[in-house]
Structures are given as structure tokens and as C-alpha cells.
Amino acid sequence: MTGNELPIGEDDLQAFVDDRLDGPRRAAVEAHLAAHPELADRIAAERRHRTLLRGQLDAKFTEPVPARLRISTLRAARRGRWISSTRSIAAALAIFVVGGVAGWFANSLTPSSSPPTPTVSVAQSATAAFRTFVVEVAHPVEVGVQQEAHLLQWLSKRLGRKLAAPDLQPFGYKLMGGRLLPGGSGAAAQLMYDDASGRRLTIYVRAADGTETAFRFQKDGEAATFAWIDQGFGFAVTAAATREELLPIAEAVYRGFDGATSTGPSGPRIP
């Protein structure tokens, strides 16, 4: 062995097992193995196992290839699958179209699930807004009651309607303040009140279509709501209260807004 040769490494030994070493390196490994009989035993065993493995799998290699693995067979099967899948796509499409057409006609025969009436829609938005902000501890309102004049002026401007805060003191509720919310296609205003025990009540106002003026009651979980449409606006009074508790409040609110817009004395029909 000459001095400038690299020491024998595991990579040399593996390449030796695989018969992939060139002449000089192969000779160097053979010399190394001759000097290390234990390593030589290991490498000899690994070479033998490699040869045995090749021998054992040789029969599989020389075995005739089954016809199903011929490329031409596989290609024909692929074409067949493509045609049948095209057919099933066409069939699925036909079913889809037939179903759609049938559905179109069926729709005119059965009562359709039309979008909710404006009152229902207002009541739902009011309930959602109530849920969101009534639990709010840090910022229940955007503008507090200390700036009531400013609050009502601001909300009136954004709503496009003069907004007054109905006096609900007779029911034990005091104004806390209010906030501006997105509502329908424009803005919505929410006024929040609370009573001595901290129970909260909201009044929700937003522009709404429809001439319906009947009160509509809705109870969603703990949140009870009276909603109505008046003069192109939807109103809702929401609180965690019973129908009986809430109705007189809703009527008072209705009268409050009625006075604010100074329309006729035609009150809503109470259901």
C-alpha cells in the first residue's frame, strides 16, 4: 500500500461487495481485507448473500412476461376506459340536465322557499347584533350616552332618517349608547339600554323595503325580538325577556319613533 492512498472506507467495502471498484482500488480493498480477517469474513458473507439473492430472483427475471403486462394490452385498456368514462360523463351530464329541467318546472308547482320577508330579515339581523354586543363588556357601545346628542345626530345622518332614543325609563331601562353596523344594503343603528340588574335591551334600525307594519315576534334562544316595518325602515327591539315583558316596550318604542317622524297616529296592529 502506498502512502498517498485514501484509507479504506465503508463506501469502498460496499462498492467491493457490488463489484464496482476499478483495478487499483479493488486491489487496495483486497489487501486491506487480507490483513483484517474478521472484516474479510463479513464482506465475504455480504457478497455471498448478494449472489444468493440474485440467484433466487433470477427465475422471476427470466420468466415469460404475462400478456396482461404488454404495453399494447395496457394501451387498449386505457382507450377502453377513456371511452367508457366519456360515456359515463355524458350520462351524468344528461341526468344533471334532466334533473335541472325537472327541478325548474317542479319549482313553479310547489310553494317556493322565498327569501324571508323584510320584517323577518330585520328581526334576524337585530338578533345577531344583539347576540354580538350584549355580551360585550369592554365596548358594549361605540358612542356612550354621555354624547347622546352626537350619537343620535351621527346615526341619523348615516341612516338617512331622524333617529331619537325612545325613553324606556318607565320600564327600568336606561340608554347606554349606540353603534353603527352594516345592515342590508346600507347602515344599521343599534341603541343599547340596560336596567339596574345589568340586563340589556337593544333597538335596531335600518332601511328596509315593504309597507308591512304588523309587529312580528320572534324568539331565538333567550333573545326575544319584536320587529316591524314603518316608512321604509325596519325596527326591532330585542332583549332576553318574555313576550309579555317585551311587548309594552316595543309599543313604546314604536310610539317614540312614530313621534320622531311625526307621521299619522296609525299604530301597528298587535298580533
Partner 1 sequence: MADAETLLEPLIPALRRYAFALVRSHDAADDLVQDTLERALSRWSLRRTDGDLRAWLFTILRNLHISAERQRQRRGPHLDVDAISLPAAAATQEAGLEMQDVLAALDQLPEEQKSLLLLVGVEDLSYDDAARVLGVPPGTVMSRLSRGRQRLRSILETGRATLLRRVK
Residues forming the site for partner 1 (CB under 8 A): 10-11, 13-15, 17-18, 42, 45-46, 49-50, 52-63, 65-66, 68-72, 74-75, 78
Residue 15 or 187: the one with the smaller Cβ distance to partner 1 is 15
Residue 74 or 102: the one with the smaller Cβ distance to partner 1 is 74
Q: How far is the C-alpha of 153 from the C-alpha of 161, rounded, in Å?
A: 10
Q: How far is the CB of 68 from partner 1 (least distance, A)?
A: 6
**3-state class of 201 per DSSP?**
strand
Residue 17 or 188: the one with the smaller Cβ distance to partner 1 is 17
Residue 15 or 145: the one with the smaller Cβ distance to partner 1 is 15
Q: How far is the C-alpha of 136 from the C-alpha of 202, rounded, in Å?
A: 13
Q: How far is the C-alpha of 145 from the C-alpha of 70, rounded, in Å?
A: 85
CA angle 247, 251, 254 (to 5 degrees): 135
Where is 174: in which H helix or E strand?
strand 174-183
Q: How far is the CB of 34 from partner 1 (least distance, A)?
A: 20
Q: How far is the CB of 91 from partner 1 (least distance, A)?
A: 23
Q: How far is the CB of 63 from partner 1 (least distance, A)?
A: 7
Residue 60 or 269: the one with the smaller Cβ distance to partner 1 is 60
One DSSP character per residue, 213-237 reads ---EEEEETTEEEEEEEETTEEEEE
Grid coordinates given for 179: 353603534
Q: How far is the CB of 70 from partner 1 (least distance, A)?
A: 7
